[in-house]
Amino acid sequence: MEHDIPARLRIPVNDALQWLNHESSSNYQLTGILGAEQVDDLNKPFDIGLILCDGEICARKQIEFTPTNGGFVFSQLELEAPTIPPYLDPPEEVRKGWINNELSKNEFILLIFYRGLW
């Protein structure tokens, strides 16, 4: 996973994030991408995995980028057997903030990890 988005992909990835948030009525924030090293030509269709968090929910969304005259058309792809599950343990900075927030409101919290999810 890359935390730093290559300069040539920043605008398309940010546009895809806006599209995804609009389509799914969510408020995802981008925390990383997968597959940027495989994109060699922005004039041909390609797909990238976006690692996203919305509060305490983190997910991987595989997005197809199809170039047009004025940018890109986006669509979400379903992966048959992804090597990275669609729902993820949040990155450390998100997880720590959530835990601290919950501990300030409760005497204790119980974290349950199940198949890589919490």
Which pLDDT tens digits describe the chain residue by residue (118 residues)?
Answer: 556 789 999 999 999 999 999 998 999 999 889 888 989 999 999 999 998 888 767 788 999 999 999 899 999 998 765 555 555 666 666 677 778 888 899 888 887 765 555 5
The answer to whether position 1 is within a domain reads no
Residue 23 lies in a domain: yes
Residue 103: inside a domain: no
Answer yes or no: is 25 within a domain.
yes
User: Which residues sit opposite 112 in a β-bridge?
Assistant: none
Residue 51's closest CA among 74, 31, 66? Answer: 31
Which range marks the domain in which residue 73 is found? 7-86
Q: What is residue 57's predicted lDDT score, i.e. its pLDDT?
A: 76
The pLDDT of residue 109: 85
Q: Tell me the longest C-alpha to C-alpha distance in the chain.
A: 56
The answer to whether residue 110 is domain-embedded is no
DSSP code per residue over 72-99: EEEEEEPPSS-SS-SEEPPPHHHHHHHH
* Cα gap 51→32, rounded to integer Å: 5
Q: What pLDDT score was predicted for residue 83?
A: 55
The per-residue pLDDT for range 41-62, each reduced to its tens digit, is 999 999 999 988 887 677 889 9
- Residue 1 has a pLDDT of 52
Question: How many domains are there within the chain?
Answer: 1
Please report whether residue 36 resides in a domain. yes
Q: Is residue 70 part of a domain?
A: yes
User: How many C-beta atoms surround the C-beta of residue 51 within 10 A?
Assistant: 22
